[in-house]
Structure 1
Amino acid sequence: MSEILRKGDIGQAVADLQADLRRAGYAVERTAIYDNGTRDAVAALQGATGLVVDGAYGPKSRAALANFDVSRLMRESDLIAAADRLGVPLASIKAVNEVESRGRGFLADGRPVILYERHVFWKQLVAHGVDPAAYAERTAILSRQRGGYAGGAAEYVRLASAMQIHAAAAQEAASWGAFQVMGYHWKALGFADIESFVATQYRSEGDQLATFTAFVLADTTLHRALKARKWAQFARLYNGPAYAENLYDTKLARAYARFAGEESEAVA
């Protein structure tokens, strides 16, 4: 099965989903076509379990259909709260959540997704009054240049090694959760210390979204771009110069249009 099934998809995976939905009590036909009825049934499942309602069937909806615990996953109410706090349409937040988040805020073992940045660790050691040159031979975790990524759970191995040198600086040198907010922003985002920031990322994807919301609010230009739906400017500020290569602005615009259209259909 593909990672995410959406309206318009066809095939055995869709037929299997329709069969599973029928067994769960949703009135859908087994057509092997991801049609409006299938989308509406998935949206109903998402609404009933509190998940983000987008009508797309992915790992989170799959977990809900299997009656797994989804309490730490992103919820529709989390997105509504973020939209209200930022003063933007819900469709804007749903677009950002779809395009700019990693889709999942947690690894399979329950720890938050992280990416450890060795070049940031160098800077944070300096900020904490530690001479990074004394550990310069440990290039896997400390360097003036970015790189050395291990990916997935292996990033925690790198983080643990760095924490042996300086725990706070190491945690500040990682990006955390679904929206990959860097730890060193903890003070600007209103946290008492880096430990409080990290503990929040462990709680839920909703808490990770709240951290991202605080990050946007702390950057007036970024917030203004989001409110005006200037997707190219928002993507450049959030992702850096490479945003255009990855078409983040185009993806954001398309996702917003789709979610805004779905909201209009629901009202109608």
Structure 2
Amino acid sequence: MTTFRYGDRSQAVRHLQRKLNDRGAQLIADGFFGDATEAAVRAYQVKAGLVGDGIAGPKTLAGLQGLDTGKLLKHADLLQASLRLGVAVAAVYALNEVESKGFGFLSNGKPVILFERHVMYERLQLPRTPADDQQQLIRRTLLLAKQAPTLVNPKAGGYIGGTAEHQRLAQACRLDELAALESASWGAFQVMGYHWQRLNYLSIHDFVAAMNRSEADHLEAFVRYIEADADLLKALKAQQWATVARLYNGPDYQRNLYDVKLERAFERHQNLALVAA
């Protein structure tokens, strides 16, 4: 999806500037995304109630086109999350920018998901009641892995992306609905389904229903995830970005420079002097 940010220069940016002018901005439509355009984007976002990050992504462009933004994350949602976690608004903005996919719903209205076949392999072997026979579960899992390796596999992979991930999930649900729903990551922050109990949802179906409602619900799951990890919350409050990145993204966080991205995003949003809209 198209995203415009500081430093971009193109005819598409010129079109963006004209759209912003239609909403009250007074930009020179020169096709350069500089300070004035960034400020105009953020002013529009704040006025529209969207996340005021100064980046013209799919959500901002949808709003400028007059499309429904009811399901989208709002500045007020991030402000509330910062108060709840006891961290700076800029810190929550940084997390949203770096750790989210930038959008939580597909064009067909379904939440963004990624089905993890290796997690399905693990969840199928998990005894859920005292009557479950561990060896029988293992045998069934191995059989399904032979019959449907794209859905049940000890190795990660098989991703298709987009709406096709929902097709994979539907196929996996026919094998075992509970395990399948727990084996997908959901929403803007890609929270794994199997966290539902730890995050105090009533059931996996309660969690999935929330993921289908709005990006605010996606943020709620993410906030619960942070609250459930005392070390992660402590690092976030201390703005220890390397620790935050390691705890959330795993030991390979440096490969993708998550800590550097978080720190830079935090500094940029701090400089924007974010206030409640």
TM-score under structure 2 length normalisation? 0.91
Greater RCO, 1 or 2 (C-alpha within 8 Å, sep 6+): 2
Q: Which moved more, 1:136-145 or 1:97-106?
A: 136-145
Match of 2:54 in 1: 55
Which whole-Å CA distance do the structure 2 matches of 1:11 and 1:118 have between them? Answer: 41
Deviates more, 1:204-213 or 1:117-126: 117-126
8 Å Cα contact 1:45-1:64 kept in structure 2: no
Checking the alignment, whether the CA contact within 8 Å between 2:210 and 2:217 is kept in structure 1 is yes
Whether 1:179 and 2:189 are equivalent positions in the alignment is yes
- Give the corresponding residue for 2:143: 134
Q: What is the Cα deviation at residue 202 of structure 1?
A: 0.7
Give me the whole-angstrom Cα distance separating, in 2, the residues matched to 1:152 and 1:196.
23
What is the CA-CA distance between 1:167 and the residue it aligns to? Answer: 0.6
Per-residue deviation, residues 95-152 of structure 1 (Å, max 9, x unmatched):
0100110011111111111111111112211224443123121111001221221211
Aligned to 1:67: 66
Provide the rounded CA distance (Å) in 1 between the counterparts of 2:190 and 2:13.
32
Quick check: 32-41 or 50-59, which moved more? Answer: 32-41
Separation of aligned partners in 2, 1:36 and 1:186: 42
Residue 154 of structure 1, CA deviation: 1.2
Is residue 13–residue 33 contact of structure 2 (8 Å, CA) maintained in 1? yes
Q: Which residue in 1 is equivalent to 2:160? A: 150
TM normalised by structure 1 equals 0.94
Partner of 2:79: 80
SS at match of 1:263: coil
Counterpart position of 2:26:
27
The alignment-based identity, stated in percent, is: 45
The one-letter code of the counterpart of 1:89 is A
1:219, distance to aligned residue in structure 2 (A): 0.8
Change in 2 beyond 3 A, CA 1:7/1:146: closer
Unaligned ranges ≥5, structure 2: none
Distance 1:113 1:95 in 2: 20
In the alignment, the residues of structure 1 paired with residue 109 and residue 2 of structure 2 have an alpha-carbon distance, to the nearest angstrom, of: 19
**Coordinate RMSD, CA, aligned:** 1.7
Tell me which moved more, 34-43 or 178-187.
Answer: 34-43
Alignment partner of 1:230 out of 240, 244, 255? 240
Preserved CA contact (<8 Å) 1:106 1:113: yes
C-alpha separation in 2, matches of 1:153 and 1:143: 21
Q: Return 16-25 or 236-245, whichever deviates more.
A: 16-25
Q: How much has 1:90 moved relative to structure 2?
A: 0.5
Q: What's the CA shift for 1:237?
A: 1.3
Q: How many residues align?
A: 265
Tell me by how many angstroms 1:191 deviates. Answer: 0.5
Q: Which runs of 4+ in 1 moved over 4 A?
A: none
Is there any run of 5+ residues in structure 1 with no aligned partner, and where?
Answer: none
CA shift at 1:223, angstroms? 1.2
Q: Which residue of 2 aligns with 1:89?
A: 88
- Asked if the contact 2:17/2:31 (under 8 Å) is kept, the reply is yes
Q: Deviations over 1:19-70 (max 9, x none)?
A: 2222233222223322333222211211121100112212111111111100
